[in-house]
Amino acid sequence: MEHLASPIFRGVLMSEVLIRKIAFVTGGGSGIGEASAKALADAGASVAIADVDMVGADRVVAEILENGGIAKSYKLDVSDDLAIGAVIAAIEKDFGGLHIAVNNAGIGGDLAPTGEQTPAGWRKVISVNLDGVFYCMRHEIGAMTRSGGGSIVNMASILGEVGFANSSAYVAAKHGVVGLTKAAAIEYGTAGIRVNSVGPGFISTPLLKILPEEALAGIAAIHPMNRLGTSAEVAALVLFLASPDSSFITGGYYPVDGGYLAK
């Protein structure tokens, strides 16, 4: 009966499966991170939203609060290890611990064949998309250990599994995220910390603005479902991996890709 009395948000009965859980979402001010933060909040988690863009982060926090959820924004560049340590410490102080982390912040980078990529362009993508995930995990693992365990969800990509022309730094970083996820899952399997990665196909978010409009129809067509995915479709998988429903799942890489990798 208590379940039936739960509030209904966005037309979905709030499951409260994550009530009293504290979640951290990087890049939570837009796209997949925003949808993940909202899904976690709808499930009852208190959500710390970290982003370089505080306009986006504050907007998402305001929308979660309006819906009766709990959230707070934190300014953060995930390529800055020291800053991540400070934000994780602030979250532990503000909310009392950490149980869920969605390491989602990412950038696209310059589009050019490998021989024409610059070291600076390479470093920029690796520093956010790979170093950033490592730096976050390093601090999250300490905080989750102090909180009695948790679940880390790293946002990889289908390009963590296969190549793609003109995006070598991005492809290398996402393959690295998949490997980092597996290594940490092995290390912390008995410590109550699960670590998984998610591999979205091409998802309709601001990130795809780097691609010309005419390229998007062609990209949709290389997915067997012949469309781009939505952020909510990725967030549903993130929520599952963050929740106790996935209690025996760790070290995995899970595509959410409209069949892209099946080809």
Ligand X SMILES: NC(=O)c1ccc[n+]([C@@H]2O[C@H](COP(=O)([O-])OP(=O)(O)OC[C@H]3O[C@@H](n4cnc5c(N)ncnc54)[C@H](O)[C@@H]3O)[C@@H](O)[C@H]2O)c1
Of 5-13, 87-95, 198-206, 244-252, which segment contacts ligand X by CB under 6 A? 198-206
Which of 155, 172, 185, 237 binds ligand X (CB under 6 A)? It is 155
Q: For the purposes of burial, counting CB atoms within 10 Å of the CB of 150, is it exposed (0-12), middle (13-18) or buried (19 or more)?
A: buried
Question: Considering the rule CB under 6 A, would residue 125 count as an interface residue with ligand X?
Answer: no
Residue 126 interacts with ligand X (CB under 6 A): yes or no: no
Cα–Cα distance, 53 to 55 (Å, whole number): 6
Residue range at the interface with ligand X (CB under 6 A); choices 14-22, 65-73, 102-110, 246-254: 102-110
- 253-256 sheet: strands from edge to edge: 70-75, 46-51, 22-26, 100-103, 150-155, 193-200, 253-256
If one asks whether residue 258 binds ligand X (CB under 6 A), the answer comes out as no
Nearest to 96 by CA among 59, 48, 62, 44: 48
Is the CB of 105 or the CB of 137 nearer to ligand X?
Answer: 105
Distance CA 14, CA 19 (A): 10
| Closest to ligand X by CB, 26 or 243 | 26
For ligand X, the closer of residues 30 and 147 by Cβ is 30
- In the complex with ligand X, the residue whose CB is nearer, 31 or 150, is 31
CB of 104 to ligand X, least distance (A): 5
Per CB under 6 A, 63 contacts ligand X: no
**H-type alpha helices, the chain:** 31-42, 54-66, 81-95, 119-126, 132-146, 168-188, 213-221, 231-242
Three-state DSSP class for 202?
coil
Q: Does 200 bind ligand X (CB under 6 A)?
A: yes
Residue 202 CB, nearest approach to ligand X (Å): 4
Check if 188 is active-site: no
Among 61, 101, 105, 143, binds ligand X (CB under 6 A): 105
128 binding ligand X? (CB under 6 A): yes
Q: Name which of 17 and 90 has its Cβ closer to ligand X.
A: 90
CA distances from 225 to 214, 218, 230 (A): 18, 13, 13
From candidates 9, 16, 17, 53, binder to ligand X by CB under 6 A: 53
Q: Which of 170, 253, 254, 260 is catalytic?
A: 170
Instruction: State how far the Cα of 128 lies from the Cα of 80, in Å rounded to an integer.
Output: 9
- Cα–Cα dist 167/251, whole Å: 25
As annotated, the active-site residues are 170
Using CB under 6 A, list all residues that contact ligand X: 26-27, 29-33, 51-53, 56, 76-79, 104-107, 128, 155, 157, 200, 202-203, 205-208
